[in-house]
């Protein structure tokens, strides 16, 4: 008789007994709303004929510049063989091209083609138009409030290298004191 397999063990998540801090409650609602909104406007991507994984990798190349397969795989959090297959598909569709690395002839660099850049621009235009249509249902004050929220979200995103500043969403000090 074979031993019974144990169910997977997940680390216990400590749930505080206290009510969530205001920032935690806002973060939870913002996270959920952002995911739902992104899913809704991402439906426009189906018109491009490229799956979400391919579009994500293409986006890294269009907005982040040429990369090796390994660097692209790391950026997309997949294994290099998976990325090689994905790049081969994008290459067959004329969206990316491979070329030898000028600094190291043993490596190959993947870059977006003009068609790849056009596809990304078109997809963004369609997603933005979809979102703009949804925003048209709001009145002026609500639209202004969302514009302010977008400013704050951009500021928080720009602070991703310093978690303490993220928590407070405060700009860095004007003239920090030197460390001794």
Residue 155: predicted pLDDT: 92
Right CATH number for 47-126 from 3.20.20.150, 1.10.10.10, 3.40.50.720, 1.10.1660.10? 1.10.10.10
- Confidence band (pLDDT; 50, 70, 90) for 7? low
pLDDT of 51 strictly over 60: yes
Token pair of 176 as six digits: 């920090």
Asked which of 54-68, 143-157, 160-174 is least confident by mean pLDDT, the reply is: 160-174
Are the CB atoms for 70 and 82 separated by under 8 Å? no
Query: DSSP assignment, residue 7?
Result: P
- Confidence band (pLDDT; 50, 70, 90) for 22? confident
Residue 65: predicted pLDDT: 94
- CA–CA distance, 61 with 112 (Å, rounded to integer): 6
Pairwise pLDDT comparison (17 vs 117), residue with the higher score: 117
Residue 18: predicted pLDDT: 75
- CA–CA distance, 73 with 95 (Å, rounded to integer): 17
Q: What number is the average pLDDT over the span 103-123?
A: 91
How many other CB atoms are there within 10 angstroms of residue 118's CB atom?
Answer: 13
Residue 8: predicted pLDDT: 66
User: What is the side-by-side strand order in the sheet with 108-112?
Assistant: 67-68, 108-112, 96-100
- CA–CA distance, 107 with 40 (Å, rounded to integer): 39
**H/E element, 99:** strand 96-100
Residue 3: predicted pLDDT: 60
* Strand 108-112 relative to strand 96-100, pairing: antiparallel
Give the C-alpha distances (Å, rounded to integers) separating 166 from 23, 41, 63, 109, 157: 11, 27, 24, 34, 8
Nearest to 89 by CA among 114, 53, 125, 134: 53
Residue 16: predicted pLDDT: 61
Backbone φ and ψ of 169, nearest 5°: 55, 35
- CA–CA distance, 136 with 142 (Å, rounded to integer): 10
How many other CB atoms are there within 10 angstroms of residue 180's CB atom?
Answer: 3
Nearest to 30 by CA among 174, 166, 164: 166
Domain boundaries, the chain: 47-126
pLDDT of 167 strictly over 60: no
Q: What number is the average pLDDT over the span 29-46?
A: 90
Residue 49: predicted pLDDT: 87
Q: What number is the average pLDDT over the span 49-78?
A: 93
Residue 164: predicted pLDDT: 47
Q: Angle at the Cα of 173 (from 163 to 164), degrees rounded to 5?
A: 15
């Amino acid at each position: 008789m074979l031993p019974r397999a144990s169910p997977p063990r997940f680390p216990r998540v400590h749930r505080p007994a206290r009510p969530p801090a205001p920032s935690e409650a806002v973060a939870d609602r913002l996270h959920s709303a952002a995911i739902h909104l992104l899913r809704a406007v991402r439906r426009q991507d189906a018109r491009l004929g490229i799956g979400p994984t391919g579009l994500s990798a293409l986006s890294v190349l269009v907005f982040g510049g040429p990369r090796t397969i390994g660097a692209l795989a790391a950026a997309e959090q997949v294994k290099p063989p998976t990325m090689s297959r994905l790049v081969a598909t994008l290459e067959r569709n004329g969206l990316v091209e491979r070329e030898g690395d000028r600094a190291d002839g043993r490596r190959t660099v993947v870059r977006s083609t003009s068609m790849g850049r056009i596809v990304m621009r078109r997809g963004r235009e369609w997603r933005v138009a979809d979102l703009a249509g949804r925003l048209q249902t709001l009145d002026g004050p609500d639209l202004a409030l969302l514009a302010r929220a977008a400013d704050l979200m951009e500021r928080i995103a720009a602070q991703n290298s310093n978690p303490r500043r993220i928590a407070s969403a405060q700009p860095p000090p004007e003239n920090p004191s030197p460390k001794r």
